[in-house]
Structure 1
Amino acid sequence: MKKYSFIYGTLLLIAVNFVIRSLGFIYKIVLSRIIGPEAIGLYQMVFPFLMVLITITSAGIPLAVSKIVAKENSLHNKVGIYKTLWIALIIGGTIALVLSVFVSLRMDFIVDKILKNRNIYYPILFSIPAIALITFASILRGFFYGLKDMKSPSNAQILEQVSRILFVLSYLIYKKPSNPIWAATIGIIGISIGEFFGLIYLVFKFNLKKLGSKIGALKAYPESFFKITSNILSFSVPISMGRLVSTLLQTATSILIPQRLVLAGYTTSEAIQTFGKITGMAMPLLFVPFTVTSALSVNIIPNISEQIALNKISDVNRQSSLAIKITLLVAIPISMLYAAFGSHLGLVIYKDLDVGRYLSIISYATIFLCMQQTTSSILHGMGKPIIATINFILGMLLQLYCTYFLISNPKYGINGFFIGYIFSAFLVFILNFISLKRTITLQLSMKELLLKPLVSSTIATCSIFYLYKSLALIIRSSFLNTIFSLALGSALYLILLGMTKSLDLFSILKELRPR
């Protein structure tokens, strides 16, 4: 199986993430226009609950598989690699089965007592198959990432996204359901459809015959079964518990926001629509830079795990510093862009000024969110998931506090959510950064990390503004003009990074090859 260098693997994942997020972004735009804000709001109320379920099985276990497989592979322990995978599949499958049965038997209680919205009964019911599908697909992707084979899981994710989009949009366009409940349900069903095709691809790519031949390894080395299980659980449980608490808090937030908005004077319909505009329309735009940071996160965990196993501490320091630098080079210009042009983007993409206003406000969290993701992944790769988990939970508690006490106050309204969101992201980033500084030596320069990207971003942002004004006389379509101006501004930003030597193109080209 072909291995890739850190830079090569990261760039490959960035490209794939760009394709996936672009498809998802277009999908969200089209979906919101077809089914409307109320259906989007119902969909977004169900989605966090589904995340609670799959977090238990697909948050920590795949990361544990990726980390342990990378370590065993660096030590050329093939038996340990396949045993890790099999045991992880058994653990994940068992938990997924228990959760599916529980939800099936307790549907009325979940809908009426926990979520307190009878309208989401069917969306919740049809989300059950996704639990097992996402679990197995996530574990297999973690296996491939641990072997530094980025291509197979990347192709699977593209197939999953395309299958989901084709199914949902084809059905909605053909049937044109007027009921927002049924429209939201179709969106949920699409998740399972997409995950099914992605999982099938991974299974065939893995080669079942090859996997079956490794079953004997479990029987040949029974004394290490509990050791591997312990390794998986000791790494995955803190992450899963942290993600579970986080997802529960996010679910509580998604339930509280409409309720607290009503107390602030909104009607029920206005509250749901506001919630849908933020989470279903503004957030997808906010998460654009995660195209890069999620690729870094996936790739850096097995790389750091491998380097620690081989006692290459200097490489850990170097790659951690590089990941932080790349994160800021992406997050700074996008934060500046959203702050300056959020209202315009909301009008051009969604034809909704509120969405643009929300995007402009929440854009100030972008840098902290990106840094939070990258620093958490570095801590995970170093085998410190508990520290990252505690930091994340503290941030989520701050966000929940602001959501509960500020949103219901007419003085703040929905701005109370933004306050909590921005400050919680900042808190987690600061705590992660302090934890890293105490553990490794980061090779960071304020001039390289902040000054050069800030200057380059400012020049690029101003150029986008003037380009749009100038091209408006030639290009009548506001959407095409925006795309063209953004493309030219982005090209200018890259040129400026090269001129200021913020990007070492020679080193990047040197590593752009499989190992």
Structure 2
Amino acid sequence: MHKKPRNALWWGTLTLTGAALASRGLGLIYRMLLARFLGSEGLGFFQMIFPLYVALVTLSVAGTPVAVSQILAEGKAPARHLMRVATAVVLATSLPLVFLVAVGRRPLALVLYHDPRFEPWLLVLAPALVAVALSSVIRGYFIGRQDLRYPAASQVLEQLVRVLIVFWLLDRVHPLGAAYAPLIAVALIPLGELVSLGLLAYGYWQTKPPPAPTPAPPKLARTVLRLSLPVTASRLLASLFGVIEASLIPERLVHSGLSPADAVSYFGQLTGMALPLILFPTALTVSLSTNLIPAIAAALHDRPRVHQYIVDAMKATALLTIPVTFVLLSLGLPLDDLLFHATVPQAVFLPLVVGGFFLYFDIALAGVLRGLGRTDLPLWNDLFASGFEILLIWVWAGRPGQGYQAVAVAVAAGFIASAGLNLWQVIRLTQVRIPWFHVLGKPIVAAFPLLLVLPAWQSWASTVWHNHALSLLSSVVLAGLGYLVTLYVTGTRPNRLV
């Protein structure tokens, strides 16, 4: 009976997932190039400014993608009227922010980072805020219609442009002096956003809705703000905690005995080398979360369908992320070294892998809560989890000899806390009974042999081919094929996996 809407959810999710996987793959290449050209310290500086950029983007976007997609999915307003109101909202927030950043770039650089070198980087970032804000409105329009072609294509194109330019340009700028390379890397952020906006605007022009036969409902702007402000607050808090971490982690590591340069280098390794590899599987869960919002919003009065969406989302998340987690436990450090030339200690990498597994489910569960109209709950759960993480970093990371591992454990603990709180809220609101044994059992049974086979295969392959990249690639391919075979043996057919 619900085949059509469920197919719309899964096809939309697969479209975004394919694009997100391509984007994440390009993103890994981009990070790899940055790491090699900037070095750990240069990448650390780049990663320190990025949380502030995310916080500014969150303010300029004002949570409009979620609001626009939900209002369109529920049919509460004509699309053209809604787009005008949402565009006015984001321009009212983004344009003043651009002015404030441009004028106050020096105080920001000195207060937040105690380093005037951040001043030109902030000025270069400012124009991106308007481009991101306008893109968010169009993206929410396409998501609300469950037409994911243009959002998916823009996501890939944005990363592709950055990869091509950094590959062509950074190696030519680098010999002129290391100080120029981070500025070029920062300048690629607004450039990529402008390319993405151009494609989304073209897509909207091709598919824009006809003039509305009925007037816009009264107080439409208030409805947009009511739905978007909790999301904005949630993401703003998360990004502000990122800003705090970017300042606190190097400071506590210096307190533990590291030099300032080593502390910044470690921050670059953690956030720019280790975490990007661990966060790669979020390509599925972010796409799934994005599509769950309008799908669940449209099915609020059909509790069995909502329950089915939740269970299917947990199954899809487990089927992909469990084998990826096992591969990361076995091969994560060699892969990280191959991609980034990183020297991340095992005591740092393994806690991040464990925490990342909980994060994958956390993202999907947050999408369920937002689809239920409770956009406030992920806000408070993120607030508690982030505060817990900051507390652990402050208390533990400053101890001599424990800073490296303490930061990794604190980040993982924050992921686990947020996932547990979001799961509790989903069960409380929907009374859904998630068959966790069925959801996790078969993927774990199918993936567990990877932990036993992959190290031995990797050792054998490295002696046969004498090529680190080729032996790792063969191990990853073997893991994928072996997982599909064992899934089939345990009763999960490939068509069901798709």
Q: 1:424 to 1:385 in 2, by over 3 A?
A: same
- Deviations for 1:224-264, whole angstroms, at most 9, x for unmatched residues? 242x2122111110111121112111111111111111111
Asked if the contact 2:60/2:90 (under 8 Å) is kept, the reply is yes
- Deviations for 1:26-61, whole angstroms, at most 9, x for unmatched residues? 111122111211111111011111011001233621
Percent identity at matched positions? 24
Alignment of 1:495-510 (within 5 A): 495-501=485-491, 503=492, 505-506=494-495
| Greater CA drift, 120-129 or 434-443 | 434-443
The counterpart of 2:20, out of the listed 10, 17, 20, is: 17
Residues in 2 aligned to 1:133 and 1:284: alpha-carbon distance in whole angstroms: 24
Q: 1:99 to 1:472 in 2, by over 3 A?
A: same
Give the CA RMSD over aligned residues.
2.1
The counterpart of 1:401, out of the listed 387, 391, 407, is: 391
Q: Structure 1 length as normaliser, TM-score? A: 0.91
Q: Secondary structure at the match of 1:66?
A: helix
Alignment of 1:172-211 (within 5 A): 172-207=170-205, 210=208
Q: 1:312 to 1:508 in 2, by over 3 A?
A: farther
The residue that corresponds to 2:116 in the other structure is 118
Residues in 1 aligned to 2:336 and 2:83: alpha-carbon distance in whole angstroms: 44
The counterpart of 1:368, out of the listed 325, 347, 358, is: 358
Q: 1:255 to 1:409 in 2, by over 3 A?
A: same
Q: 1:382 to 1:504 in 2, by over 3 A?
A: farther
Q: 1:364 to 1:59 in 2, by over 3 A?
A: farther
Q: What count of residue pairs does the alignment treat as equivalent?
A: 494
Alignment of 1:54-453 (within 5 A): 54-58=57-61, 60-72=63-75, 80-207=78-205, 210=208, 214=211, 221=215, 224-226=217-219, 228-308=220-300, 311-354=301-344, 358-453=348-443
Residues in 2 aligned to 1:386 and 1:111: alpha-carbon distance in whole angstroms: 32
Residues in 1 aligned to 2:496 and 2:441: alpha-carbon distance in whole angstroms: 22
Residues in 2 aligned to 1:372 and 1:331: alpha-carbon distance in whole angstroms: 12
Q: Secondary structure at the match of 1:354?
A: coil
Task: Measure how far apart 1:405 and its partner are.
Answer: 1.9
| Greater CA drift, 436-445 or 251-260 | 436-445
Task: Measure how far apart 1:318 and its partner are.
Answer: 0.2
Q: 1:177 to 1:229 in 2, by over 3 A?
A: farther
Task: Measure how far apart 1:498 and its partner are.
Answer: 2.8
Asked if the contact 1:342/1:356 (under 8 Å) is kept, the reply is no
Which sections of structure 1, spanning at least 5 residues, go unmatched?
510-515
Task: Measure how far apart 1:490 and its partner are.
Answer: 1.3
Asked if the contact 1:28/1:280 (under 8 Å) is kept, the reply is yes
Q: 1:210 to 1:369 in 2, by over 3 A?
A: closer
Q: Aligned AA for 2:390?
A: L
- Deviations for 1:122-176, whole angstroms, at most 9, x for unmatched residues? 1111000111111111221111011010111111111111112222332212222
Q: Aligned AA for 2:215?
A: Y
Residues in 2 aligned to 1:278 and 1:180: alpha-carbon distance in whole angstroms: 21
Q: Aligned AA for 1:450?
A: L
Task: Measure how far apart 1:361 and its partner are.
Answer: 3.0
Asked if the contact 2:427/2:433 (under 8 Å) is kept, the reply is no
Q: 1:398 to 1:177 in 2, by over 3 A?
A: farther
Which sections of structure 2, spanning at least 5 residues, go unmatched?
none
Q: Secondary structure at the match of 1:118?
A: coil
Residues in 2 aligned to 1:457 and 1:388: alpha-carbon distance in whole angstroms: 30
Is 1:462 the counterpart of 2:452 in the alignment? yes
Q: Aligned AA for 1:372?
A: D
Residues in 2 aligned to 1:14 and 1:307: alpha-carbon distance in whole angstroms: 22
The residue that corresponds to 2:34 in the other structure is 31
Asked if the contact 2:316/2:497 (under 8 Å) is kept, the reply is no
Q: 1:201 to 1:225 in 2, by over 3 A?
A: farther
Q: 1:178 to 1:401 in 2, by over 3 A?
A: farther
Residues in 2 aligned to 1:157 and 1:401: alpha-carbon distance in whole angstroms: 35
Residues in 1 aligned to 2:484 and 2:193: alpha-carbon distance in whole angstroms: 35
| Greater CA drift, 18-27 or 325-334 | 325-334
